[in-house]
Amino acid sequence: MDFNQSYRSFVLAIAQNKGIKNLVLTRGRNFARRFIAGDTLEEALRVVEALERDRIHAILDLLGEMVTSEAEARKFQGEIVRLVQAFGALPYPRYVALKLTQLGLDLSEDLAFALMQEILAEARKVDCFVRIDMEDSPRVEATLRVYKRLREAGFNNTGVVLQSYLKRSEQDLQDLIPLRTPVRIVKGAYKEPPEVAFQDKRMVDAQFMVLCKKALENGLYTAIASHDPQIIQEMKRWTAEKGIGRECFEFQLLYGVRRDEQKKLAAEGYTVRAYVPYGTDWYPYFSRRIAERPENLLFVARSLIQG
């Protein structure tokens, strides 16, 4: 296991400590706002307006995952429908992300499928795309099954995410090609065992490039979701060399991360989207962001000390 994987495992492990969690929730909120638009939909929509002034589009994500009751799942669905409707009232490209465990995937695939159908029907009215985020490895198979059922039901305004650190992802991509699935390629942010995930950063990066290039070669609209300068530069070079038009892919980066690069890519004429999360259930997402880079842990530690 290389340093990056060891660091991620360490941070994700201590993030589960109740004392650490309470400390971050009470004293780390200001730092969390670096990555999170705010608690409310209204705050998130103001961020959308600000991003659009720099020609950067937004992916809005109401934070929350792994609900434990149908009532919670239906509450999330109602809030996501409200998000879609509010976003639909703005004169910008509409794009929403969600996790199926928000909609009760752990309770019932049928429940998640039914709630997703209603969300996608509402999204279709306002030309909104809905990305199904991928979660940890035990939930990948169920997520893909629900996605395929939605496509069979006639919903084309949705797509999935593939994580390059999972060893299964290349085969998953192959299975998605006949559906012309819009894919988002990420490296992966969960703690996963060696049996299912590459533990060496070089392997993860190499697989990321393999997935992006294979998706594009097979005509899938591809979201290249990375902040890595080498990956971004290589994808710019490779797509130009292959004659793959800029309308076939886009770059996606996280809100609050490499803001200058987002503006630069947009100014160069690439489609750029910032992943903009909001909501009160921000701790799991925040923990994964801290686990990505040691510099983030130093910033949050300083923030906690200073209150």
Per annotation, catalytic residue among 8, 131, 139, 184: 184
CA dihedral of residues 126, 33, 274, 201 (deg, nearest 10)? -140
- Which of 61, 133, 136, 172 is catalytic? The answer is 133
Element (DSSP H or E) covering residue 53: helix 41-53
Can 133 be counted among the known catalytic residues?
yes
Q: Which two tokens stand for residue 290?
A: 């801290």
- Give the residue among 51, 57, 39, 127 at the shortest CA–CA distance from 89: 127
Quote the radius of gyration of the chain (alpha carbons, Å).
19
Question: How far is it between the farthest Cα atoms of the chain?
Answer: 53
Work out the angle between the directed axes of helices 18-27 and 294-306 (0-180°, nearest 10): 70
Q: Are 81 and 153 in contact (CB under 8 A)?
A: no
- From residue 275, how far is each of 75, 90, 96, 170, 173 by CA, in Å? 22, 17, 9, 24, 22
Cα–Cα separations (whole angstroms), residue 247 to 86, 204, 252? 26, 26, 14
* Alpha-carbon span 306 to 263, nearest angstrom: 31
Active-site residue, 82 included: no
Residues assigned a catalytic role: 133, 184
